[in-house]
Structure 1
Amino acid sequence: MKQTIIAKLKLHTTSEQLAQLRNLQLAYRDALNYVSRYAFEHGKMSSKRRLQEGTYQELRVLYALPAQMACSVPRQVGATYKGLWTKYKKHAASRKAGVTKKRYKGLDQPPRYLSPTVTYQQGRDYGFKTEQRVSVLTLSGRLILPYSGYERYVALIEQGTSIGTAQLWYDQRKKRFYLLVALSLELPDPEPGDLSQVVGVDVGRRYLAVTSTTTGSGDPLFFLGKEAVAQADHYTRLRKRLQQKGTRGAMRKVRAIEQRERRLKAETNHCISKRIIHRHPASLIGLEELTDIRERTKPKKHRRTKQGKSSELVSPKQRRENRRRSQWSFAQLQAMIAYKAMLAGSVATKVDADYSSQACPRCGHTARANRPGKGLVFVCQNCHYTLHADLVGARNLVLRTLLVWQDWARTGLLSVAPDTSDSEAKAARLSRYAELRWSPDASPSLQRWGH
């Protein structure tokens, strides 16, 4: 099994070398925007081959890009347009189904590239030398620069690990360049018998993550999100005031705050995922399938009357809740858990999140009334089972992950994520979930579920 990790290497440059790399970044960004405008003017095309044929010579002459970079730019722009067309078709299907009434605006104007990050192709644009040095391409030739980084990643590079593309990234705050290198690791394929327990991870806003295992003997983990979310709200208020000011200095400060908030979320998610993996070694970890969660849980709108006309407007309170719903990066948290689990000998899989916080794990009764006022207390209206609502969600994920493990042990195939496009298959899975029951005396051994 292959696992790709990103090694962050700090480049040690002189002032002259830093200027050369900076000029390359700006030229690369301008070239991306040029090809983006060309694609928009020619039918918003996403064909990488046609974009390269139409812009290659201009990229070489106008921006003095080396040959390989003049090929990489159209490929990157083509991938961007392909993603936009995918979102357009998906949004059109949602609009046809009545999920939303808004029109997709992602293709109304050509995408604009703001980040001056450069993509390097291994063996053509960059390559590693001896004594912790790397050769990178610039507009005026190659530079051989010393680098440093995490000792484990540096050792993997020196041992000849499979190396992929890299990105040249500039930290404006520290005035320093980094090379983000993709490393492909060959890991042994996991087997059901190699895992000792099943873990469910429920994510949310009040508690960023709550874990549960197959038995009640292991204490669940609760990761409170109050402090991190409050800090993110503070950054939102700062950005709003600065954007209303609108000066160049204010917008520069806005970009700095955005980067600070991104680092806050990444650091918080890194600490949570690291602790979960360290606490539950050799485990099958069940994560919620949150794809299209915003469309599936569309917020309510409040009706108001404005100037004598009836119209649907969102109240300030609901607007704040809508912002908070999309504020935290749960996809990033789950991705960190998945790749850290694989490196530690565990396996992460996704299961359906439907009704995981509304279904009673003891008797199976499912109803919204089981969570009075959508609070943190779960009270089953049938058997009066009472527990922390997020812990109930984590336990339901444990039960559903046990089914995945059972199917894996029986068929030899592991389902990494459920197929949400097939409504009949999903209905069958939900029917199986309704038959699951939580037992406080569950055995920690998984063998009874399989062979």
Structure 2
Amino acid sequence: MKQIIIAKLKLHTESAQFAALRKTQLAYRDALNYVSRYSFEHGKMSNQRALQRDCYDEIRLKFGLPAQMACNVPRQVGATYKGLWTKTKQNAALRSAGLTKKRYKGLDQAPTYVSPTLTYNYHRDYSLKSNNQVSILTLDGRVIVSYTGYDKHVALIQHGAEIGAAKLWYDKPHKQFYLLISLELERADPTPESHSHVVGVDVGQRYLAVTATPNNEAAFYCGKAVRAKADHYARLRKRLQKKGTRSATRRSVILSGRERRLKQDANHLISRRIIDQHPHSIIGLEDLTHIRERTKRRKGQKASKKQRKANRHASKWAFAELHGYIAYKATMAGSMAVKVDAHYSSQACPMCGYTDPSNRPNKGLLFVCQSCHYTLHADLVGARNVTMRTLLTRQDWMSTGTLLVSPDVSCDEAKALRQQRYSELRWSTDTSPRRRGVG
């Protein structure tokens, strides 16, 4: 099994090297915008080969980019337009089904590239030297720059990791260049014997994550302080947007970066603690794909002030980012993450299997089964249901020899069969979990 990670190397440049790298970055960005405009004017092309055929010579002559960079530009623009076309088609399908009235406007004008980040190919545009040095291609030729980085990443670069493409990133506030190198690591293939422990993770708003194990162990990761800070940034940005001046816009961009880093830090911390507490485990995560379309909530003028605030919380927290962090860190630590069906995980009783929205009175933190009167913290009930579904995935793995890392709900029939199996699951009779409050 292969795992890809990103090593971040800090480049220590001299003044001439700094100027050469910056000049190359800006020329690469100008070439991206040129090809983007060309694609838009010629039917919003997404075919990378056609863009390279039509624009390659102009990129070399007008912007002076080397051959490999001139090939990377049409590929990047083509990938951008392909993603925009995918979103446009998805939006058209949703509009025809009556699920939304908003029209996707991503292809109304040519995409503009603002970031000067450029792509380097290993052994063509850059190569690693001894004594922690890297040779990087610029418009003025190659420059040899010394670097520093995380000790474990540097050790992987020097011993055994398969090195791939890299991105040259510029930190404008600090005027610092970084080289982001992709490393491909070889990991032992997991087996049911090596991953005998199971843990389920339920994500939410009041508690960003709740974990549960079959041994009735539980951990709560509170998000109250982090969410309050994010709400503070949202209020500041709202006032700045009303002001509308250029300085207010610059300040708003700065606050957006702070909020993004705040959430990234919280997700990194939670994922690291989950992985450290459950080594060599199968970690079950809810499959939240299309969760916004599945959940019915009031929006716009029909929603109350409290509902609009809840909608903003649900739409702005990066649950997919948290799942991604857990997945890659689990692989690095000898564990693995699998997706399980999230349908009705917060409404199903883990003791009797009765599923109904009324099991969550007023959609609060208390779960009260209307059939067997089982009462527990609602988020912990969700985590237990995820744990049982993960156990079912491991049992299928042991019996068939094939591990499904995501549930098969491609059709209504498959979904109904899985729901029938889930309704037969029962939790242990011990209803007193050993709880660990975190955060």
Same fold at TM > 0.5? yes
The residue that corresponds to 1:116 in the other structure is 116
Q: Distance in 2 between matches of 1:67 and 1:378?
A: 62
Following superposition, the deviation at residue 441 of structure 1 comes to: 5.7
Q: Is the 8 A contact 2:136 2:142 kept in 1?
A: yes
Within 5 Å, give how 1:36-435 maps onto structure 2: 36-216=36-216, 218=217, 220-301=218-299, 314-435=303-424
- 1:433/1:340 CA distance change after superposition, 3 Å: same
Which stretches of structure 1, 4 residues or longer, exceed 6 Å deviation after superposition? none
- 1:427/1:91 CA distance change after superposition, 3 Å: farther
Following superposition, the deviation at residue 343 of structure 1 comes to: 1.0
Q: Distance in 1 between matches of 2:303 and 2:354?
A: 33
Following superposition, the deviation at residue 368 of structure 1 comes to: 0.8
| Partner SS state of residue 166, structure 1 | strand
Unaligned runs of 5+ in 1: 303-311, 443-451
- 1:134/1:297 CA distance change after superposition, 3 Å: same
The code of the aligned residue for 1:86 comes to T
Q: Is the 8 A contact 1:215 1:440 kept in 2?
A: no
Q: Distance in 1 between matches of 2:58 and 2:285?
A: 47
Deviates more, 1:135-144 or 1:345-354: 135-144
Following superposition, the deviation at residue 365 of structure 1 comes to: 0.8
Q: Distance in 2 between matches of 1:146 and 1:111?
A: 35
Using structure 1 for the length normalisation, give the TM-score.
Answer: 0.92
The residue that corresponds to 2:6 in the other structure is 6
The residue that corresponds to 1:436 in the other structure is 425
Deviates more, 1:314-323 or 1:386-395: 314-323
Q: Distance in 1 between matches of 2:235 and 2:115?
A: 24
Q: Distance in 2 between matches of 1:439 and 1:313?
A: 43
- 1:356/1:249 CA distance change after superposition, 3 Å: same
The code of the aligned residue for 2:379 comes to D
Q: Distance in 1 between matches of 2:9 and 2:352?
A: 53
| Partner SS state of residue 221, structure 1 | strand
| Partner SS state of residue 107, structure 1 | coil
Q: Is the 8 A contact 1:11 1:145 kept in 2?
A: yes
Deviates more, 1:375-384 or 1:103-112: 103-112
Provide the aligned C-alpha RMSD in A.
1.6
Q: Does 1:24 align with 2:13?
A: no
Q: Distance in 1 between matches of 2:10 and 2:116?
A: 17
Among the aligned pairs, what percent are the same residue?
64
Q: How many residues align?
A: 431
Deviates more, 1:398-407 or 1:101-110: 101-110
Deviates more, 1:32-41 or 1:98-107: 98-107
Deviates more, 1:281-290 or 1:315-324: 315-324
Following superposition, the deviation at residue 331 of structure 1 comes to: 0.7
Following superposition, the deviation at residue 255 of structure 1 comes to: 2.0
Q: Distance in 1 between matches of 2:109 and 2:360?
A: 44
Q: Is the 8 A contact 2:299 2:308 kept in 1?
A: no
The code of the aligned residue for 1:227 comes to A
Using structure 2 for the length normalisation, give the TM-score.
Answer: 0.95
The code of the aligned residue for 1:8 comes to K
The code of the aligned residue for 2:280 comes to A
Unaligned runs of 5+ in 2: 432-439
